[in-house]
């Protein structure tokens, strides 16, 4: 375990804003986690788990507690048969390293989630997804430390209460569990169409018809790199807004006024409307608000060009959400969590 006093959170978050914390602790194993949580209990300190820092926004005020940076590693095949392989990964492993391992083994199920930033442990929290895949589709279970009881629990995927960009770890019981490892079942079968529309268009234009995981990964990388700025060069947290989920009634109201509005049927009377389309049709794409630039290539992304801190980000968020609601009557929500 490594301890750092008074770290500046902006140095650890890809949006590059935020105040400091009392301490940061790098946890390399379960004992480190146990010791840090016990320290927090003894000293009545708050704690927060940090993965890659790509989906977290920090406030300007000092965090009165310990930021736990997850460094638990390891990736192993623990079971295999003729149809699938089961892989267990440490929660601190970079997510894309797990994707690359699956590609090397010619396993399908997470290839469309290539180069999503962050760690394996953060993936179930957010129920990450891209181009028609979500981690909920392949997750078997997570191993998690219960900060209340001090016990390690195995939580089955069915008990994670996965929804669109949501889970029990994010919404219902935030802070109760610290994920130690994740276990996925990946298929030995080739990826099967139909694919997400943008992905299929790319494959068609490239004349790719014999689909394999390597081709899907390369296609996704090419598409994402044209839409998502490199946070090392342009500070951002990836998709800042979730796509809007609306009822059939709300969708019909939208289509009555905008017949060409894109949408996706999610079942159960729920429809996904791309928030990027909503923002773009408010003529906000490319606009600079309080130092935050709405990405000209993808309106879901906010780029920190000159924001002085969280208050500027909050002001930009408020203007964007109000403008979208005033025009469409649809409330859009922030995707990154907050410290």
Q: What whole-number distance in Å separates Cα of residue 85 and Cα of residue 108?
A: 10
Alpha carbon distances (Å) from 275 to 44, 150, 184, 185, 255: 40, 40, 30, 31, 15
Encode burial over 74-85: b for 16+ CB neighbours within 10 A, e otherwise. ebeeeeeeeebb
Q: What whole-number distance in Å separates Cα of residue 169 and Cα of residue 171?
A: 6
Do the beta carbons of residue 296 and residue 227 sit within 8 Å? Answer: no
Active-site hit among 165, 170, 185, 217: 165
Q: What whole-number distance in Å separates Cα of residue 132 and Cα of residue 127?
A: 12
Active-site hit among 20, 239, 293, 317: 239
Q: Is 317 tagged catalytic?
A: no
Active-site hit among 93, 111, 141, 335: 335
Sheet containing 21-27: give its strands across. 2-5, 21-27, 63-70, 46-50
Best CA proximity match to 180, nearest among 139, 100, 109, 122: 122
DSSP, res 137:
G
| Other Cβ atoms within 10 Å of 331 Cβ, number | 11
Q: Is 165 tagged catalytic?
A: yes
- Which residues 6+ apart lie within 8 Å of 241 measured at CB? 275, 276, 279, 300, 320, 332, 333, 334, 335
Q: What whole-number distance in Å separates Cα of residue 160 and Cα of residue 195?
A: 26
325's tokens: 């609601």
> Please, how many CA atoms are within 13 Å of residue 114, restricted to the half-sphere of its CB?
22
Q: Is 214 tagged catalytic?
A: no
Which residues are the active-site residues?
Answer: 165, 239, 335
């Amino acid at each position: 375990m490594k301890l750092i006093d008074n770290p500046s959170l902006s140095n650890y978050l890809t949006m590059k804003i935020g105040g400091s914390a009392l301490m940061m602790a790098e946890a390399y194993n379960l004992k480190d986690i146990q010791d840090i949580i016990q320290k927090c209990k003894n000293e009545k300190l708050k704690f927060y788990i940090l993965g890659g820092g790509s989906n977290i926004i920090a406030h300007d005020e000092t965090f009165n507690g310990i930021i736990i940076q997850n460094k638990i590693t390891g990736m192993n095949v623990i079971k295999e048969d003729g149809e699938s392989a089961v892989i267990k990964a440490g929660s601190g492993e970079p997510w894309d390293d797990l994707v690359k391992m699956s590609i090397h083994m010619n396993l399908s199920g997470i290839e469309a989630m290539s180069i999503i930033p962050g760690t394996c442990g953060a993936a179930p929290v957010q129920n990450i997804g891209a181009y028609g895949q979500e981690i909920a589709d392949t997750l078997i279970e997570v191993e998690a430390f219960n900060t209340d009881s001090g016990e390690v629990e195995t939580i089955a995927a069915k008990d994670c209460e996965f929804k669109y960009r949501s889970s029990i770890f994010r919404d219902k019981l935030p802070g109760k569990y610290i994920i130690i490892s994740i276990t996925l079942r990946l298929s030995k079968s080739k990826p099967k169409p139909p694919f997400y529309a943008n992905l299929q268009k790319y494959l068609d234009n490239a004349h790719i018809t014999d689909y394999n995981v390597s081709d899907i990964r390369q296609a996704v990388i090419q598409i994402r790199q044209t839409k998502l700025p490199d946070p090392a060069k342009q500070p951002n947290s990836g998709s800042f807004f979730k796509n809007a989920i609306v009822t059939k009634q709300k969708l019909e109201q939208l289509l009555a006024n905008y017949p060409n509005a894109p949408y996706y049927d999610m079942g159960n009377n729920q429809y996904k409307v791309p928030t990027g389309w909503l923002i773009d049709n408010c003529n906000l794409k490319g606009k600079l608000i309080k130092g935050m630039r709405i990405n000209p290539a993808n309106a879901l992304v906010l780029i920190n060009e000159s924001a002085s801190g969280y208050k500027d980000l909050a002001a930009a968020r408020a203007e964007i959400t109000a403008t979208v609601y005033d025009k469409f009557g649809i409330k859009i929500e922030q995707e990154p969590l907050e410290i």
